C-alpha cells in the first residue's frame, strides 16, 4: 500500500505514504471490529487509502495557497488518485527496484524491503536480525536517506533501471530467503515469514514480462525446493534436522512440483546463473536417483567456478565424499584451509567418523569450540557422543 501511495507522492514523501497506509489499517481495525470484515477487504482498504490521499493533497493545496496569500480563490484541484489491480502490481514492482539500490548496503536493503514492502515493524525486523532496535533504526535511516535522495520514478520503471538493478534485486531476495531458511536461532514462525516474503517478492517479478527472466525463475525454483523441506528440517523442539535424517514423507510434494515448474521456465535461453545451479542441486536432492550425487558434484563444480564461497567449497567436498568416498573427500577438505569456521571441522569430523574415530572426535571438539550457536554446539555434541 505504501508503494501504491508513493507512486503519487514520489519517494521523497515516503513518510507521508506510510502514515496514510498505517492510518488506513488503524481505521480498518476499528471499523471491522464493529461492523465485521467487508466483502472485499482489499478494495475497502484501498478506497480508504485513496480518500486519505486525496484529503492530504487537498490539504496541501489549501496550505500552499494560504501561504501565497491567495486564499480567496481556492480552486478545487483535480485530484485523481487512481488505484486498480494493475497499479497495485506495478507499484510494488517499482518499489522493489527502488529499495534495491546498489548504493545501499545489502543488509540495509533487506531491512528496507522488510519494512516498506513486507510491512514488518521495527520490532519484527530486529527480531529477524537478532539485533537491537537502535541498530536497525539507524540502518533504516541511512537506507531511507538513499531512497529519498534518489530520483527514482515509481511511475515509470525504465528498462534501464530494470537491467542495471535486477541482479541486486535477486541478491536481496536470495539473502532474505537465506536469512529465514538457514538461521539456527530464529523461532520457526519468523523463519517461515521471511521465506514466504522472499517468494512473494520473486512472484511479483514473474508477473511482469520485463522482469520475468530465466534467473528469476531459477531463484523461485530454488526457493520452492528449499521450502518443500522446511517442515521436515525443523523438529518439534525447533531444532534443525540434518538432510539424511529427514522424514521424506514430510516433504511438501506440491512445492516440489512448483519448483519443477519454475526450473523448466528457467531453462529458456542460455543463461546459467548461480541460481540455476543451486536450483539444480536442490532439485537432485528431492530425487532418489542412484546417480544423483554425481549430478550434484558436477553442479557444485560449476557453481564454485562462477563464485567462490567457503560454504560452497565445503558442500562440494561433501558431494565428493558421496561419489568417491570419505578418504578422497578428506584430502580435498584439508586443502581448503578454512580453519576459522566451525563447519570445516564439523565436516572433517563427519568424514573421519567411518575411518578414524579418534580423529573424528578431535575435529568435532574443535568445531564445538569455534561455534557460538547453541543449536550447532548441541548437534555436534550429539554426533560426538554417538562415536564414543
* Residues of the shown chain interacting with other proteins in the complex, contacts defined by CB under 8 A: 294, 297-298, 300-302, 304-305, 308, 312-313, 316-317, 320, 332, 335-337
The cell numbers describing 317, all together, are 567436498
Q: Cβ closer to other proteins: 175 or 336?
A: 336
**CA separation for the pair 190, 127 (Å, rounded):** 8
Closer CB to other proteins, 268 or 307, in the complex? 307
What the block records as the C-alpha cell of 68 is 501565497
- CB of 93: closest distance to other proteins in angstroms? 35
Nearer to other proteins, 79 or 336 (CB): 336
Each residue of 102-131: b (16+ CB within 10 Å) or e?
eebeebbbbbbbbbbbbebeeebbbbbbee
Nearest in space to 262 (alpha carbons), one of 242, 282, 288 = 282
User: How many residues are given for the chain?
Assistant: 388
Question: Is the distance from CB of 201 to CB of 117 less than 8 angstroms?
Answer: yes
C-alpha cell at 73: 480563490
Cell (9 digits) for 299 = 553442479
What stretch of H or E contains 185? none
CB nearer to other proteins: give 116 or 351: 351
Alpha-carbon span 65 to 319, nearest angstrom: 71
In this complex, which beta carbon is closest to other proteins, that of residue 150 or of residue 302? 302
Write down the least CB distance from residue 305 to other proteins, Å: 5
Task: Name the grid cell of 141.
Answer: 535511516
Which phi and psi (to 5°) does residue 267 adopt?
-85, -5
Min CB(292)–other proteins separation in Å: 15
User: Which residue has 525443523 as its cell numbers?
Assistant: 234
Q: Based on CB atoms, which residue is closest to other proteins, 306 or 355?
A: 306
If the CB atoms of residues 34 and 305 are measured against other proteins, the closer one turns out to be: 305
> Considering the complex, what minimum distance in angstroms separates the CB of residue 306 from other proteins?
9
Amino acid at each position: 500500500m505504501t508503494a501504491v501511495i508513493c507512486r503519487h507522492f514520489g519517494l521523497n514523501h515516503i513518510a507521508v505514504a506510510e502514515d496514510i497506509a498505517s492510518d488506513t489499517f488503524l481505521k480498518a481495525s476499528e471499523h471491522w471490529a464493529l461492523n465485521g470484515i467487508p466483502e472485499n477487504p482489499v478494495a475497502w482498504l484501498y478506497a480508504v487509502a485513496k480518500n486519505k490521499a486525496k484529503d492530504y493533497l487537498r490539504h496541501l493545496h489549501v496550505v500552499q495557497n494560504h501561504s501565497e496569500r491567495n486564499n480567496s480563490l481556492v480552486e478545487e484541484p483535480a485530484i485523481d488518485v487512481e488505484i486498480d489491480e494493475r497499479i497495485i502490481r506495478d507499484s510494488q514492482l517499482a518499489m522493489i527496484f527502488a529499495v534495491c539500490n546498489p548504493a545501499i548496503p545489502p543488509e540495509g536493503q533487506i531491512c528496507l524491503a522488510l519494512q516498506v514492502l513486507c510491512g514488518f515493524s521495527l520490532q519484527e525486523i530486529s527480531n529477524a536480525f537478532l539485533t537491537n532496535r537502535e541498530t536497525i533504526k539507524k540502518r533504516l535511516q541511512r537506507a531511507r536517506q538513499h531512497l529519498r535522495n534518489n530520483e527514482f520514478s515509481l511511475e515509470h520503471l525504465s528498462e534501464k533501471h530494470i537491467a542495471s538493478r535486477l541482479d541486486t534485486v535477486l541478491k536481496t531476495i536470495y539473502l532474505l530467503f537465506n536469512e529465514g531458511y538457514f538461521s539456527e536461532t530464529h523461532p520457526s514462525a519468523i523463519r517461515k515469514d521471511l521465506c514466504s516474503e522472499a517468494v512473494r517478492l520473486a512472484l511479483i517479478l514473474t508477473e511482469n514480462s520485463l522482469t520475468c527472466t530465466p534467473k528469476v525463475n531459477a531463484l523461485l525454483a530454488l526457493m520452492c525446493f528449499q521450502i518443500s523441506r522446511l517442515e521436515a528440517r525443523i523438529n518439534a523442539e525447533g531444532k534443525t534436522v540434518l538432510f539424511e535424517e529427514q522424514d521424506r514423507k514430510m516433504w511438501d510434494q506440491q512445492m516440489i512440483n512448483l519448483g519443477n515448474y519454475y526450473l523448466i521456465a528457467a531453462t529458456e535461453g542460455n543463461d546459467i546463473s548461480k541460481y540455476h545451479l543451486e536450483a539444480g542441486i536442490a532439485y537432485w536432492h528431492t530425487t532418489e536417483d542412484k546417480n544423483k550425487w554425481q549430478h550434484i558434484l558436477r553442479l557444485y563444480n560449476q557453481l564454485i567456478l562462477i563464485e567462490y564461497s567457503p560454504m560452497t567449497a565445503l558442500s562440494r567436498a561433501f558431494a565428493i565424499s558421496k561419489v568417491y568416498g570419505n578418504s578422497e573427500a578428506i584430502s580435498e577438505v584439508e586443502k581448503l584451509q578454512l580453519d576459522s569456521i566451525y563447519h570445516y571441522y564439523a565436516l572433517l569430523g563427519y568424514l573421519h567418523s567411518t575411518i578414524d574415530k579418534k580423529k573424528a572426535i578431535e575435529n568435532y571438539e574443535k568445531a564445538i569450540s569455534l561455534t557460538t550457536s547453541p543449536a550447532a554446539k548441541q548437534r555436534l555434541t550429539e554426533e560426538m557422543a554417538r562415536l564414543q
